[in-house]
Amino acid sequence: VPATGVKRLWPTVSVRPGGDVDVVYLESQEKQATPNPTDIECSKPTGQGIRSGLVSPLVDTYWVQSRAGGATFSAPLRISEQTTNWCTTFYTFSGGVFSNIGDYIASASAGNRTFVLWPDGRNGFSDVFFAEVKGKVKM
């Protein structure tokens, strides 16, 4: 776990017709979800072994935009409405590879809109959610 407790992963980039750059990514707050600091909160197969530890991956989806060709970006905007704890979410493996998490994140930009797909486990199992981001951010 990084010292900040934050992991940003699986970025996907799209560019709007006017050149604005949109980036969508998952952000995992690696922290305790239970009150007992000695709880093993996560013991989950990963396809590469077992993820086991004292913290949980509490994941949300974010969007940032650059109107400066990627030199600077807006403050992150949370796209997901609920946080997913991937250690309490059911998901499957395909050919021994960790799947259904980073496999299903995507974005596409058209006009003044960005369309976002992301993996989400709010219902207890891995699913794909969709959102549309309209307009531009103020920089």
What region does 79 belong to: left with phi over 0, alpha with psi -120 to 50, or beta? alpha
What tokens appear for 53 in the block? Answer: 């530890």
Rounded to whole angstroms, how far apart are CA atoms 89 and 129? 15
Helix, strand counts (H, E) of the chain: 0, 12
Q: Which residue type is seen at 8? A: R
pLDDT in tens, 39-86: 887 777 666 666 777 788 889 999 999 999 899 999 999 999 999 887
Whole-model pTM: value is 0.82
- pLDDT tens-digit profile of 82-109? 998 877 877 665 544 444 566 678 999 9
Single-letter amino acid code for the residue at 7: K
Cα separation of 70 and 19, whole Å?
10
